[in-house]
Structure formats: C-alpha cells, structure tokens
Amino acid sequence: MRNWIRFPHQEGKVSRQAHADLPEEAPYEREAGRSGFFGPATHFHHRHPPTAWTNWDGPLRPRAFDLNRLSLCKSSPFDAPLVLHNPCCQYRIWQCEGAMPHLVRNADGDDLLFVHQGQGALFCDYGHLTVHEGDYLVIPRGTQWRLEPERTMTLLLIEATQDSYQLPDKGVLGPHAIFDPMMLDVPEINPEFLAQQDEREWRVQVKKQNALSWITYPFNPLDALGWHGDLSVVRINWRDIRPVASHRYHLPPSAHSTFVAARFVVCTFVPRPIESDPGALKVPFFHNNDDFDEVIFYHQGNFFSRDNIGPGMVTFHPSGFTHGPHPKAFAAGQAHARKDTDEVAVMVDTRDPLEVGPDACQVEWVEYAQSWSQAE
C-alpha cells in the first residue's frame, strides 16, 4: 500500500461533490488522478473545455484506427496484426474464416478473446464450447486450442504477457455483483469433443518469447476423457454483465472492470441508464489519467461520448494529456438528450506505455486529434 501525500484542500469556485453540481461559470470539470481512479485526485473547474485545442504537433496525440480496413484473415492468431503492444500486453485483431488446421498454444501468457463477429466451436484441452458474438474467452497460458467457425469470426485478442487474468475485487458490492461467477461457462467433455478425437497427424504451434515452434503428434492431442480442478478456459458474454449504475453520480470506468492483470485492466461498457439527477454529470468527465494508457474497441451501438466512431474502430489515448467527450456529446449530456446508452465497448487501461504496430498505422484516422474541434 502506497502512502500518498494527501491534503484535501479547495481554492476558488468548486463543487463540493465531484462530477455533480458544477459551477455555472466553470462547467468543464477536469480530473487529474493517480493510480487509475483509485489514488489521490484533484478536480479543476474550467471556463473552457480542456480539449478545445486548435493545433497538435509531435508524437504524443490521441489516435484512432479503423480495424475494419485491415487484412485480418490468418490461419493462426499469432499471425494476426499487432495493433498495440508493450512488454506486458499484446493487442491484436484476428479473422478466422474456416476450421483451424492445427492447434495453438501460447506459452507467453493468458489470452483473452472477445468475439466481435461470427460464431463457432472452440476445441481445447478442457473440451468443447460453442462461442457466439459478444463472448469473452479467457484461455489460460499453455492451453492447446483451435476454432471451427460456423461463419467467419472476427476476434479481439489481448495477451497478458508473462501474466494471468483474474476477476476484479468488487469490494462492498460483493462477489456476485456485475456478474456472478456462476455465469462463467467452461468447456465440456461432450459428444462433439469426443467425436473430434482421431489418430491422424496433428501439429501444435507454440509461441514462446514471440518465437513460433511446431510440435507434431501422430494423434490429436485433444484426447482427454475427463478433467477435474479449478483452472479452465472460461466464457462470459457481455449480455450477462449487469453494470453498476447510479442515477445521481457518474461512475468512473473502473466500476466497469471485467478482468484484471498485474499491469492492465479490461473494462466492458454495456447499455445502462444515463444519470437522471439534474446536477449529475451525464457523460465521461474530462481527465488526464497520467498513470495509464487508454484503449477502447467499439463493438456495437452509438458510443455516447464520441463522434464519427463506429464498430470495429479503436481509439488510443496515451497518458500525458487531457481527454474527454466530444463537444456534441457534452452538449447532449447537458441537455439530457438521451436517457440510456446503447454502446458496447471493450476498454483496456495499461500502466505501461503502448506502442502502435505498423499495421495499425496503415489504417489510422490521422485527423482524430482535431475531431474535438470538428465536432463543434
């Protein structure tokens, strides 16, 4: 536990409650915080939007990528375009058109798969599982697996490099909030799994320290007849997530945490009621979260704090500057123009700076940094 220097203090015109009842003459609240949304923080009240810049030069900038324009079809997830990465996380997008002709095993860390489009069957050491659009799949490090799509599947892949995925601490909400662990599905040793076992030659592609090796077997190594224990592939769909909401207070993204690793967190934004209290902020607050890089993948719906961002796109806000809602979204929030959100998005916040892969640079919306002024 870190012993932060803390001294609650106020200067000038302020609201007593963060994210609510903002001063009329300074309606643009900006949060400067540490350790995500869990450390010391200060809330500034500005006359002008902190994102109302007129020009941007240099390598640090907000960035957006249209992953729909990438060539995604690869026979292996390890060949999928590397969108973003750092020593603790690899972030890829992959399209699987047909049954994988071999197995894969990641020896570098756990994988989290999010099914953006399509459906099919997962076969792995633990058995068979039918997967659909909107599913999360946590695949423990070292697991052998393959997919058999019923129709083309597009998947977001997030590797916890040299790490593992765990569930977030839900604190006073209790362990059954957001989703009950009983909602986690596991693969089955069922007729479909037994039917795929055969005596022909199979190959397993193994990734270790980002180098690929091949292991050949004279039989299908997915030949288990049973298993017992508490380590397995698990699945949950975003539709099974029951978001925390408050009609009087805009909750920070950390309230929507779904999975955590040691150096990053995965949050899921799903449809929820928008705050109804007259004084409550109704869109994400402006913030410079200087300890984390923020990445959001847009799955479906109309993301209520952004303009011109659609499904299959990714925004990347590295730490070091203030970001927040576009002007139209902020104005709509002040007018309480919407009563509910309909967005579904996957957010990753990383403690370590991310680098952009060369494939992502080819599909970048280069004017994104100016979109806060274009949205006027």
- Are 169 and 264 members of one domain? no
Token pair of 150, please? Answer: 């019923």
Single-letter code of the amino acid located at 45: H
pLDDT of 164 reads 98
Q: Supply the DSSP symbol for 325.
A: -
pLDDT at residue 135 above 90?
A: yes
pLDDT at residue 375 above 70?
A: no
Q: Is residue 51 situated within a structural domain?
A: yes
Tell me the chain's radius of gyration from C-alpha atoms: 22
* Beta-strand relationship, 109-124 and 135-139: antiparallel
Confidence of residue 284 (pLDDT cuts 50, 70, 90): confident
Higher pLDDT, residue 306 or 5: 5
Residues 6+ apart with CB under 8 A from 79: none
Using DSSP, state whether 330 is helix, strand or coil: helix
Q: Is 287 annotated among the ligand-binding residues?
A: yes
Total domains in the fold of the chain: 2
Distance between CA atoms of residues 148 and 200, nearest Å:
18
- Are 106 and 214 members of one domain? yes
Q: Which residues are catalytic?
A: 250
- Per the structure, the complete domain to which residue 106 belongs is given by 71-238
Quickly tell me which residue has 């969108």 as its tokens: 83
- Are 185 and 329 members of one domain? no
Quickly tell me which residue has 């320290």 as its tokens: 209
Question: For 27-45, b where at least 16 C-beta lie within 10 A, e where not — what string?
Answer: ebbbbebbebbeeebebbb
Q: What pTM was estimated for this model as a whole? A: 0.94
- Are 213 and 262 members of one domain? no
Distance between CA atoms of residues 86 and 65, nearest Å:
18
Residues 335, 321 contacting (CB under 8 angstroms): no
pLDDT at residue 67 above 80?
A: yes
Report pLDDT digits (tens) over 255-264: 999 999 999 9
Taking all residues of the chain, what is their mean pLDDT, rounded to a whole number?
A: 93
pLDDT at residue 253 above 90?
A: no
User: Which one of 190, 208, 238 terminates a domain?
Assistant: 238
pLDDT at residue 99 above 90?
A: yes
User: Which one of 238, 258, 278 terminates a domain?
Assistant: 238
- Are 317 and 366 members of one domain? yes
Q: Is residue 210 situated within a structural domain?
A: yes
Helix and strand element counts for the chain (H, E): 4, 20
Q: Is residue 292 situated within a structural domain?
A: yes
- Are 206 and 90 members of one domain? yes
Lowest mean pLDDT among 4-18, 70-84, 106-120, 328-342: 328-342
Q: Is residue 364 situated within a structural domain?
A: yes
Quickly tell me which residue has 């280069």 as its tokens: 366
Give the start-end residues of each E strand in 59-209: 63-66, 82-86, 89-96, 103-106, 109-124, 127-131, 135-139, 144-161, 202-208
Residues 143, 163 contacting (CB under 8 angstroms): no
User: Which one of 238, 273, 290 terminates a domain?
Assistant: 238
Within its chain, how far is the Cα of 183 from the centroid?
Answer: 19
Torsion of CA 5, 11, 14, 16, to 10 degrees: 50
Q: Is residue 311 situated within a structural domain?
A: yes
Q: Is 352 annotated among the ligand-binding residues?
A: no
The whole-number average pLDDT for the span 182-203 is 98
- Are 142 and 169 members of one domain? yes
Single-letter code of the amino acid located at 32: A
**Nearest to residue 336, comparing CAs of 250, 263, 269, 276?**
276
Residues 6+ apart with CB under 8 A from 259: 112, 136, 138, 165, 166, 167, 168, 265, 266
How much of the chain exceeds pLDDT 70, in percent?
99
Report pLDDT digits (tens) over 195-235: 999 999 999 999 999 999 999 999 999 999 999 999 999 99
Q: Is residue 157 situated within a structural domain?
A: yes
- Are 250 and 365 members of one domain? yes
- Are 80 and 225 members of one domain? yes
pLDDT of 362 reads 94
Q: Is residue 167 situated within a structural domain?
A: yes
CATH code assigned at 209: 2.60.120.10
In three-state form (DSSP H/G/I as H, E/B as E, the rest C), the secondary structure along 246-307 is: CCCCCCCHHHHEEEECCCEEEEEECCCECCCCCCECCCCCEEEECCCEEEEEEEECCCCCCC
pLDDT of 92 reads 97
- Are 291 and 325 members of one domain? yes
pLDDT of 303 reads 81
Quickly tell me which residue has 């945490």 as its tokens: 257
- Are 50 and 103 members of one domain? no
Q: Is residue 17 situated within a structural domain?
A: no
- Are 258 and 354 members of one domain? yes
Q: Is 317 annotated among the ligand-binding residues?
A: no
Distance between CA atoms of residues 261 and 273, nearest Å:
29
Phi, psi angle pair for 177, to nearest 5°: -75, 160
Confidence of residue 376 (pLDDT cuts 50, 70, 90): very low
